């Protein structure tokens, strides 16, 4: 396997603030409250980068002292799609930057034996095909969940899809790049590998359990 960071559709966000916050999240001593805050903050920082290519149009604004030509967002509207349940932790951070975005939900869990994604819920905005999509999930491990989510969305007409994850395994990136052409992957880190249970090493453990305190 080559260096997955060199794939053209993979953006590794190595900003110092992002790396610092991610290190605190990885620490097993970090409790659920701080973990949740950090997921939200990282999602907001990621949204800033993932929207860098959004289209602008010129408009005219009258300031208190002069009229000027300036720019406003003019491209497609946005849909944020968390993969349940850990993806929920990233939604509020993104909505703080893009408050007009609609939110759809894709419910998937990973079968602990087969590591295959199992669908249990899907509710999307009706105009999903006309929106820029940000799928959010803290962890990209085997890539099975993310690929399945991309496929659901494509089946329902989605076109422009970005995937925002906090930590990716090389195996997951390979899978998404292979099975989901044109999907841009934004990640804060590419870790070493998966262990025999499909956990990212070093990773941060089970993101859903750490967010919601279920273990
Ligand atoms: C985790 C994580 C991803 C998935 C990643 O969810 O939030 O959705 O695993 O693994 P994959 O890349 O191998 O598919 P999990 O299935 O543990 O469900 P949860 O969010 O409800 O805890
Ligand atoms: N899901 C998680 O929450 N953590 C991992 O390391 C892998 C999948």
- Residue 93 and residue 42 in contact, taking contact as beta carbons nearer than 8 Å: yes
The whole-number pLDDT of residue 110 equals 84
Mean per-residue pLDDT, 105-118 = 90
Report CA(11)–ligand 1 centroid distance (Å): 21
Pair type for strands 102-103 and 105-110: unpaired
The alpha-carbon radius of gyration of the chain (Å, integer) is: 18
Average pLDDT over residues 77-87: 97
Strands 193-194 and 161-168 turn out to be unpaired
CA–CA separation, 39 and 25 (whole Å): 8
Confidence of residue 181 (pLDDT cuts 50, 70, 90): confident
Distance from residue 57's CA to the centre of ligand 1 (Å): 38
Retrieve residue 123's tokens. 């509710």
Ligand 2: which of 85, 140, 189, 205 to mutate, judged by most atoms within 8 Å of the beta carbon?
205
More confident residue, 31 or 75: 31
- Residue 143 has, within 13 A of its CA and on its CB side, a CA count of 18
Average pLDDT, stretch 155-163? Answer: 95
* The overall pTM is greater than 0.85: yes
């Amino acid at each position: 396997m080559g260096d997955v960071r060199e794939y053209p559709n993979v953006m590794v966000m190595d900003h110092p603030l992002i790396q610092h916050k991610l290190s605190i999240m990885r620490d097993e001593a970090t409790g659920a409250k701080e973990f949740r805050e950090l997921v939200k903050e990282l999602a907001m920082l990621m949204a800033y980068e993932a929207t860098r290519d959004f289209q602008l149009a010129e408009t005219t604004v009258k300031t208190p002292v002069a009229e000027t030509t300036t720019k406003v967002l003019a491209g497609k509207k946005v849909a944020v799609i968390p993969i349940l349940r850990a993806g929920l932790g990233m939604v509020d951070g993104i909505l703080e930057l893009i408050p007009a975005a609609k939110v759809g939900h894709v419910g998937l869990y990973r079968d602990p034996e087969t590591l295959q994604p199992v669908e249990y819920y899907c509710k999307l905005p009706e105009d999903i095909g006309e929106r820029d999509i940000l799928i959010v999930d803290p962890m990209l491990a085997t890539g099975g969940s993310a690929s399945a989510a991309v496929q659901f969305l494509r089946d329902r007409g989605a076109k422009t899809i970005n995937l925002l994850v906090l930590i990716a395994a090389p195996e997951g990136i390979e899978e998404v790049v292979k099975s989901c052409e044109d999907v841009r992957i934004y990640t804060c880190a590419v870790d070493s590998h998966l262990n025999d249970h499909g956990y990212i090493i070093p990773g941060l453990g089970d993101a859903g359990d750490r967010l919601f305190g279920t273990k």
